[in-house]
Amino acid sequence: MEDFSDPNALADFLQSKASQFEHPDFIENDPISIPHQYQRKEDIEIMGLMVATIAWGNRISILKSGKKLQEIFGESPYDFVMNHDLNREINFVHRTFQGKDLAFFIRGLRHTYQQGGLELAFKNSGENEGMVDRIANFRKKMLTVEHPQRCEKHISNPLKNASCKRLNMYLRWMVRSAAKGVDFGIWKSISPAELYIPLDVHTGNVARKLGILERTQNDWKSNVLLIEYFKTLDPLDPAKFDFALFGLGAMEKF
């Protein structure tokens, strides 16, 4: 392992890896490939949210389930969400995410579009700090529709110190610039400077090996520490370093 005791050497290494992995070649074997098959803003953001929501487990399994979601939602996920018979059962299972959970998301999404749209659902109300507020507001809006208690676990709560890995990943997809051909950059009401790293066991372990993160928990408090460090490297686009951490862990087995 390289010696990163020199902060400048570590910074250069991370900048290089972020640039290396943020490339269209990244898309094919990643869940982001599912929303990339759509053109309309609403279709992209709906399929992005759905595949991000089921993004746990190995990527092959996630992509397989993502394709099943595509079969269910059809060519226009937005039209499906707005017109689906909510009394009709849906046959879908990805680990603990089942048809009842998918039906809840469809109801919740329809409600958010009736209230102004999915992007607006992440509006900052000022009740809490920054991205915590945005995610908490989205969660609150989705949960206003009727739902079984079991569905609540599928929308992480930063107010309870959850890392919100999947929602942070989704927000990266929607907000970061499309200039390098991976993320979409279709949400303009959130600045890339506000984004957090999608923290899970893999990105967390790489961050600890590099000496960036000392806390052992993968939670929101660790999210804050990580993003504070990455903001020293790029205050305008700190979440780009997700590509470095993920690429090192998943692709280079760092």
pLDDT at 6 over 90: no
State how far the Cα of 253 lies from the Cα of 247, in Å rounded to an integer.
8
pLDDT given at position 224: 97
pLDDT band at 2 (very low <50, low <70, confident <90, very high): low
Distance in angstroms (rounded) separating the CA atoms of residues 222 and 157:
15
Quote the pLDDT of residue 191: 97
Q: Give the C-alpha separation, 246 to 249, whole Å.
A: 5
| 50 and 131 co-located in one domain | yes
Residue with tokens 């990244």: 26
Per the CB < 8 A criterion, the answer to whether 167 and 155 are in contact is: yes
- Domain extent, residue 238, equals 1-29+163-254
Question: Who wins on pLDDT, 124 or 104?
Answer: 104
Note whether 71 and 169 are same-domain residues: no
Query: And the tokens for 217?
Result: 């928990």
DSSP output for 88-122? S----EETTEEHHHHHHHHHHHHHHHHTT-TTGGG
157 in the same domain as 75: yes
Q: Which amino acid is at 218?
A: N
Among residues 162, 194, 216, which one ends one of the domains?
A: 162
- With tokens 């997700």, the residue in question is 242
Q: What is the pLDDT of residues 146-171, one digit of tens each?
A: 998 999 999 999 999 999 999 999 99
Residues 68, 115 within the same domain: yes
Please check whether residues 129 and 139 belong to one and the same domain: yes
Same domain, 124 and 38: yes
pLDDT in tens, 66-97: 999 999 999 999 999 999 998 888 999 999 99
Report the share of the chain in percent with pLDDT over 90: 87
Alpha-carbon gap, residue 160 to 220, rounded angstroms: 8
User: Do residues 153 and 167 share a domain?
Assistant: no
